[in-house]
């Protein structure tokens, strides 16, 4: 039985979707998996950025029409409570801007290059440690970061954009000389994601930037991530994450499952009844 048939025929309460991101296939086949489950009136939890980055508004409407939840905490910053923070603790606030370092691999490579390694040496180390994505070009060409800032924009700012829609820059052309010159200016080179409202539209980007040593983003090295959230009612909120592992990603999925259990499923299900 293949995945689509299982989704359509098996009995379940929640479908957990953990396939890898495909930029080339525009989020498929994961989007189809999610759509089929929501159409059947089943809750969905995904750690795959594809459905959120390429089809969130459509899937959100489908979830609402079928009175089920479509949750995605692990898609950005692993298990750090990004979406749950906005959902549960920023009620009444409108998110007006987002920025941050959202890709661990590129941040790790740039940090290693500051110690004197070449790009290829730092990339090899990242691959040996299992830090890099299965498709390395998603990381170094900025596609993973683009998918994450788009996912954040779609969920938190009501955008309806996809990764190819935004301005994107990678790190593959960064040289040791550029890193050295940046450090001489007492700055750090970082791959920064941005999203803001311009003329009533959400505009997102991923680009290399030199930031001062006292900037909050400069303190995030290695595999760390950081997100700055701007709202209409509060000052900037920062979420930081240090060297996440697969346990962090797994926790994000578990957190979403517990959310569904607590709010949308019966507290004690009698397994003797269908």
Residues labelled catalytic: 148
**Do residues 236 and 228 touch, judged by C-beta distance below 8 A?**
yes
What stretches of the chain show up as alpha helix (H) in DSSP? 3-9, 30-39, 49-65, 83-89, 104-114, 119-128, 136-140, 143-157, 176-184, 246-264
From CA 111, how far away is CA 189, in angstroms rounded?
9
Classify strands 225-231 and 95-101 as parallel, antiparallel or unpaired.
Answer: antiparallel
**Do residues 86 and 236 touch, judged by C-beta distance below 8 A?**
no
Question: C-alpha distances in angstroms, 57 versus 63, 85, 121, 152?
Answer: 10, 20, 41, 12
Q: At a CB cut-off of 8 Å and minimum separation 6, what does 273 contact?
A: none
């Amino acid at each position: 039985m293949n995945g689509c048939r299982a989704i359509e025929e098996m009995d379940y309460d929640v479908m957990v979707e953990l396939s890898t991101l495909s930029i080339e296939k525009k989020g498929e086949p994961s989007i189809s998996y999610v759509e089929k489950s929501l159409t059947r009136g089943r809750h969905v939890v995904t750690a795959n950025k594809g459905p959120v980055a390429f089809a969130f508004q459509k899937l959100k409407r489908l979830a609402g029409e079928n009175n089920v939840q479509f949750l995605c905490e692990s898609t950005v910053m692993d298990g750090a409570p990004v979406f749950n923070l906005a959902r549960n603790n920023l009620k009444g606030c409108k998110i007006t801007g987002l920025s941050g370092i959202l890709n661990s691999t590129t941040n790790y490579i740039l940090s290693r290059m500051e110690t004197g390694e070449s790009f290829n040496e730092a990339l090899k180390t990242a691959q040996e440690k299992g830090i890099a994505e299965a498709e390395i070009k998603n990381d170094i060409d900025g596609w993973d970061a683009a998918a994450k800032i788009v996912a954040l924009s779609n969920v938190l700012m009501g955008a309806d954009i996809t990764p190819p829609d935004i301005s994107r820059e990678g790190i593959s052309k960064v040289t040791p000389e550029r890193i050295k010159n940046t450090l001489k200016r007492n700055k750090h080179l970082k791959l920064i994601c941005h999203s803001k409202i311009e003329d009533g539209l959400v505009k997102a980007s991923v680009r290399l930037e030199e930031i001062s040593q006292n900037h909050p983003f400069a303190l995030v090295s290695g595999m760390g991530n950081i997100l700055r959230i701007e709202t209409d009612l509060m000052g900037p909120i920062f979420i930081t994450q240090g060297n996440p592992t697969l346990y962090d990603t797994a926790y994000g999925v578990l957190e979403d499952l517990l959310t569904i259990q607590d709010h949308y499923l019966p507290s004690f299900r009698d397994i003797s009844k269908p």
